Amino acid sequence: MTITSRAFASLIGPAAIAAGLVMASGATAPASAGVSEHCATIVSKELDKAGHSTVIGQTACSTTSAADALAKSGDTVAGTTSTAAVKSSTLLLNKYKDANYGGGVIYSFYGNAGDCDNAGYHLVNYVSVEINVSSMTGCNGCNAVLVNNEYSNYQTFGLPVVYLGDHYNDNVVALKAYRA
């Protein structure tokens, strides 16, 4: 399914379309978010004024494990302990460097409001992830993803998706993970 840029903007927010270098809510990319690292972010269902899911656990990366990246992100959640933030987080989406889930998981989004529903979570990549994603898996009810690329092309994929196709391979600026 392909939709118009206006419809997509209303789903993820106009700033997300314009900003491939910005995560959400002022989150900045880690200094070295290379593909040998696993990165994680915890987001809420609440949308910020730009229309993105509000980042509550800043992006954190680890060369050790996905669990370590999540724990580091949990360390940044205000008003709670890392353990509480991690326990209340639900894995939503894994992004892989290569097609067919190859190259390992390079980035995971976690939500603090439970499983995916029809409203979904509105997510923005920073550029080092944007240019490295080729396949994705959804978790905990996230069975669809609406993506856009730097050329303002938009498409919905069922999750899991083994290859994002020529227009979206290594070119996912923003996305909405949801239950179709």
Q: What is the pLDDT of residues 97-125, one digit of tens each?
A: 999 999 889 999 999 999 999 999 999 88
More confident residue, 59 or 81: 59
Q: How confident is the model at residue 9 (pLDDT cuts 50, 70, 90)?
A: very low
Q: What number of other Cβ atoms are within 10 A of residue 64's Cβ? A: 12
Q: How far apart are CA 71 and CA 111, in angstroms?
A: 14
Residue 113 tokens, joined? 């409001």
Q: How confident is the model at residue 81 (pLDDT cuts 50, 70, 90)?
A: low
Q: How far apart are CA 100 and CA 81, in angstroms?
A: 36
| DSSP assignment letter at 170 | T
Question: Contact 64/44 with Cβ under 8 angstroms?
Answer: no
Please provide the average confidence, as pLDDT, over all residues in the chain: 80
Domains and CATH numbers, the chain: 5-178 (2.60.20.10)
**In a 10 Å sphere around its CB, with 0-12 CB exposed, 13-18 middle and 19+ buried, how is residue 169 labelled?**
middle
For residue 159, the one-letter residue type is L
Gyration radius from the chain CA atoms: 14
Tokens 């976690």 locate to 110
